[in-house]
Amino acid sequence: MRLIENASIRVKLHLLSFTVTTVALLLASGAFTLHDLQQLRASKVEQLRTLGSALARNSTAAVEFLDKETAEQLLSSFMSKSSVETACIFDANGDVFATYPKTLKQDSAGTLAPRDQVVFTGDGFLHVTVPIQRDKELIGTLSIHSNLDSIHQQARSYLWIVAAVMFSSLLLSNLLSERLQRVFAAPLLNLVNVMKSVSEKRDFTLRVDRDSKDEFGELCRGFNQMIAQIEEARAELQQANSELEERVHARTSELVMARDAAEAASRAKSDFLAKMSHEIRTPMTAILGYADVLRSEEMSHLDREQHLITIRRNGEHLLAVINDILDISKIEAGQMTTEAIETSPGEIIADVASLMRVRAQKKKLDLNVEYEGPIPASIKTDPTRLRQILVNIVGNAVKFTEKGQVKLTAQFRRGEEGVPDQMHFAVKDSGIGMTPEQHGRLFKAFSQGDDSMARRFGGTGLGLAISRNLAQLLGGELWCESEPGTGSTFHVAVETGSLEGIEMITDQSEAIAAQPVQIARKVELNCRVLLVEDGADNQRLVSFLLKKAGASVEIAENGLIGMNKALDAQAANEPFDVVLTDMQMPVMDGYTAARKLREQGYTRPIIALTAHAMTDDVIKCVEAGCDDYTSKPVNRQKLLELVDRYAQKIAQADAAGKSLTASTESASSV
């Protein structure tokens, strides 16, 4: 096999042609020879059958009347058939009646005993048996034993003819193949020679001369084109080499810049972590410190109240820091989602102004709200995220303004030429302003306008980065205009969605925003609550709040226990009015417990108590079977109002059910 692989293409083509021709001739000759031999054998059988049938008809009388001499005379007719060696007539009992030749011995005649009608023996003979009948009654049998010499002689003749034909065909095929190989191999050899010259001499000006339209012509033209491209590429390579040094220098400069940027980003992240540590540890220090003071020292009721207010204020600040970190993480991971629901921009402005006015008054600043023209009564946006943006930029304006005022302006801007309608908010302050360098760092997630500002005013430096991303998610943008010493103006634009059928309000007044915050109503509970919570501290806190409001509380340490208690209470006809369950617990979590309760037909309210308050987490709670949710840390007023709302629904449903049952029983008695 290795010799064939290393042979020239001319030898390979010759071997291929010779092999294919030989195999084809052998198959064709073999098929014809086998067919002719089969025909000869069939002809021989038919000849003996015809002869035997005629002889059997003539022997009927001789066999019937036991005329052996006549029968032997009839058999002697085989003398003219040199191929018939022996023949024998048997009577109806299978005994020998007459033989050919007459001298055939009895034991030899036994070999001609009746058998299958046609038998080719293994020693090269043919045995044919023909019945002798009278009126369709078998009275004897004729057996003929013939040699196959004529068939063998004809087969030998066929073989000689086949051999002569194969030899002549192979000779002619070899001559034709030799001529065709010259036509086939010549252009290929020419191509090989040119290729060797190009490789050895490095002369890319050589070309293969071949103008035919067959595959060899295509191959030669492709080779010439390849050589031309190589020659062109060499010229380009030489030019590229001349420019390589300049490119290397430019790339080196880019790498240096990238390295500097990476180092700057690393420093920014390190600064960010340091700031986060400061922002987290500062309120934690106050919380832990004042908690120890409350625990270890006796003090007046007023001092205790001030300490508790300090602890709560620092706890809220710590929660805001954590929320900022979570928001920026979701934004960078591309997982931040927003809603598009009917929202009143006037109410959001009123909420923000009411909240921020308290901070402004502490610094003796004026916080004013102005409306430039009519604004929609409602827009389609995410109210939580829009409020978060406005609180952030108004809060920053108040924080960085020492004297003067902060003004929040709202304006509706109609879109033109494919631009969507937008609500535009502007927050202008009379604060310290910013330099262009500070302005350039303003919206970066891991840096602030100035490190000295962070030390002076505090803050994580994440608020504006989060707000800009949120504004973009709401279909708008957040940008800033500022000069040192003259204050800053932050602009926020968000899409309004379709305003078809929405009223435009012109009578806007800051009096709405300045309305005092309504005092939360006192909630009194009269219900049974099952609290499913694994944390001991949360068990004590939530159960204390519920019991103080008047509820009866039973505690379960995990979802499995809670599920069993809820089902047992329902089976005992003393069901809980509300099930309040944490979602992250050992043994069985709240999602599984709620799902299994619903699967078993539990219809009472289930409220999720979860530290995961993102939209996806809320949807997950609802899909598990919860009616509602409240987030951790627990807001006392919201928790009590939520439990009270569902408890009243259950009480009304139970009362309606009892009334219906009483009516049914009364009707039945009548």
Q: Are residues 474 and 385 in the same domain?
A: yes
Structure tokens at 635: 């807001």
Q: What is the DSSP letter of 586?
A: S
Q: Are residues 262 and 358 in the same domain?
A: no
Neighbours of 620 (CB within 10 A): 17
Q: Does the pLDDT value for residue 660 go beyond 60?
A: yes
Evaluate whether residue 195 is within a structural domain.
no
Domain termination residue (choose one: 318, 336, 354): 336
Reported pTM: 0.49
Q: Does the pLDDT value for residue 613 go beyond 60?
A: no
Give the distance, in angstroms, between the CA of residue 534 and the centroid of all CA atoms in the same chain: 37
Q: Are residues 407 and 502 in the same domain?
A: yes
Residue 356 to residue 367: CA distance in whole angstroms: 8
Q: For position 513, what pLDDT does the model report?
A: 41
Q: For position 630, what pLDDT does the model report?
A: 87
Q: Does the pLDDT value for residue 74 go beyond 70?
A: yes
Name residue 411's beta-bridge partners. Answer: 424
Evaluate whether residue 269 is within a structural domain.
yes
Q: Are residues 142 and 23 in the same domain?
A: yes
CATH code for the domain of 156? 3.30.450.20
Evaluate whether residue 173 is within a structural domain.
no
Residue 29 to residue 484: CA distance in whole angstroms: 107
Residue 367 to residue 394: CA distance in whole angstroms: 9
- Asked whether 532 and 399 are in contact (CB, 8 A), the reply is no
Query: Mean pLDDT for the chain?
Result: 79
Q: For position 633, what pLDDT does the model report?
A: 80
Evaluate whether residue 347 is within a structural domain.
yes
Q: Are residues 449 and 329 in the same domain?
A: no
End-to-end CA distance of the chain: 109
Residue 396 to residue 460: CA distance in whole angstroms: 12
Q: Are residues 503 and 537 in the same domain?
A: no
Evaluate whether residue 174 is within a structural domain.
no
Evaluate whether residue 183 is within a structural domain.
no
Q: What is the DSSP letter of 403?
A: S
Number of domains in the chain: 4
Phi-psi map region of 571: left, alpha, beta (phi>0 left; psi -120 to 50 alpha)? alpha
Which has the higher per-residue pLDDT, 167 or 516? Answer: 167
pLDDT per position as a tens digit, 494-507: 999 888 888 888 86
- Asked whether 426 and 491 are in contact (CB, 8 A), the reply is yes
What average pLDDT score do residues 424-436 get? 87
CATH code for the domain of 638? 3.40.50.2300
Burial (0-12, 13-18, 19+ Cβ within 10 Å), 476:
buried
Domain hosting residue 354, numbered range: 342-513
Residue 224 to residue 212: CA distance in whole angstroms: 14
Q: For position 111, what pLDDT does the model report?
A: 56
Q: Are residues 34 and 153 in the same domain?
A: yes
Q: Are residues 24 and 47 in the same domain?
A: yes
What average pLDDT score do residues 438-445 get? 69
Residue 661 to residue 139: CA distance in whole angstroms: 109
Domain termination residue (choose one: 293, 309, 336): 336
How do 477-483 and 487-495 pair as beta strands? antiparallel
Q: Are residues 560 and 641 in the same domain?
A: yes
Evaluate whether residue 190 is within a structural domain.
no
Q: For position 530, what pLDDT does the model report?
A: 96
Q: Are residues 400 and 456 in the same domain?
A: yes
Picking from 148, 135, 140, 83, the residue whose alpha carbon sits closest to that of residue 113 is: 140
SS percent in the chain: helix, strand, coil, step 5: 60, 15, 25
- Asked whether 545 and 593 are in contact (CB, 8 A), the reply is no
Domain termination residue (choose one: 131, 163, 195): 163
Residue 541 to residue 531: CA distance in whole angstroms: 11
Q: Are residues 246 and 353 in the same domain?
A: no
Q: Distances in Å between the alpha carbon of 197 and those of 190, 191, 192, 227? A: 11, 10, 9, 12
How do 405-413 and 366-371 pair as beta strands? parallel
Structure tokens at 484: 């040192």
Q: Are residues 228 and 250 in the same domain?
A: yes
> Confidence band (pLDDT; 50, 70, 90) for 514?
very low
Residue 446 to residue 258: CA distance in whole angstroms: 17
Q: For position 496, what pLDDT does the model report?
A: 92
Evaluate whether residue 159 is within a structural domain.
yes
CATH code for the domain of 366? 3.30.565.10
Measured on CA atoms in the order 393, 396, 398, 400, is the torsion positive or negative? negative
